[in-house]
Amino acid sequence: MDGVSFLMLVYVFVLAIFVGFELITKVPPTLHTPLMSGSNAISGITIVGAILSAGLEEFTISTILGMVAVIFAMINVVGGFLVTDRMLKMFKKR
């Protein structure tokens, strides 16, 4: 990773934080719990790293750690999106 590409990552990070602030300040308080569980599921994006670790050609300790990471991230992703959907289904106007 050279200096320029690292700086690009920092750029992306900072700009994404600003996008996040803009988006989330518009979420009404009534949806704060689904926002939390939904964004929680998004943080399961670590699954990408977990897959890369678990899928190495040679079997090493990295593979085992990767597999456990896949389990954790998958719980986070699947559980998070499903439970958020379950909650949002209930938010109705009558």
Partner 1 sequence: MKTIIEITYLVSSVFFIFGIKKLSSPKTARQGNMFAAIGMALAIIVTLIDQDVLTYEWILIGAIIGSTIGVIMAVKIPMTGMPQMVGLLNGFGGGASLLVALSEFYKIMNFPAWNHDVKTDISIIISILIGAVTFTGSMIAFGKLQGLVTGRVVKYPGQHPLNAILLLFVIVGGAYSVIYPGNELLILVIAAVSLLLGVLLVLPIGGADMPVAISLLNSYSGLAASATGFVLENNELIIAGALVGASGIILTLIMCRGMNRSLLNVLVGGWASAGSGGPAPEGSTPKGDVKSVDAEELAMIFDSVSTVVIIPGYGMAVAQAQHAVRDLVNILEKKGIKVRFAIHPVAGRMPGHMNVLLAEANVSYDKLFAMEDINDDFSNTDIAFIVGANDVVNPAARHDQSSPIFGMPILNADYAKTVVINKRSLNVGYAGIENELFYYPNTLMYFGDAKDAISKLTNELKNL
Q: Does 81 bind partner 1 (CB under 8 A)?
A: yes
Binding mask 5-44 for partner 1 (x = CB under 8 A): xx--x--xx--xxxxxx-xxxxxxxxxxxxxxxxxxxxxx
90: contact with partner 1 by CB under 8 A: yes
- CA distances 25 to 35, 68, 93, Å, are 11, 35, 22
Q: Is 4 in the site for partner 1 (CB under 8 A)?
A: no
Contact 38, 84 (CB under 8 A): yes
The reply on whether position 92 binds partner 1 by CB under 8 A is yes
The backbone torsions φ and ψ at residue 66, rounded to the nearest 5 degrees and listed phi first, read -60, -40
Instruction: Tell me, by CB under 8 A, how many residues bind partner 1.
Output: 83
